Amino acid sequence: MLGCGILLPWNVFCPVLITATLFFLSRLVGSPLQASFASYVTTTSSVFNVFVLAHATATSKRVGI
């Protein structure tokens, strides 16, 4: 259950990022972020997911579901 809760936002977010990549790249033309935008978004999302997973793991013992 914990894994589903952590991976659900990622599975929803990935198709949005993939389909919206051309839009964001067109908005970032001439910007230094253009080449690495998708990498930054993916890294930020993964780091946030790790923190949420750690928090959920630490607090799951208190909930007792």
Which distant-in-sequence residues (6+ apart) come within 8 Å of 21 by Cβ? Answer: 38
pLDDT value at residue 38: 78
Residue, of 45 and 63, whose pLDDT is higher: 45
pTM reported for the whole predicted model: 0.61
Read off the pLDDT band of 65 (50, 70, 90): low
Q: Which pLDDT tens digit goes with each residue over 10-46?
A: 666 666 666 777 788 888 899 888 888 878 877 887 8
Cα–Cα distance for residue pair 45/12, rounded to 1 Å: 12
Burial of 45 per CB tally in 10 Å (0-12, 13-18, 19+):
middle
Q: pLDDT-based confidence at 3, cuts 50/70/90? A: low
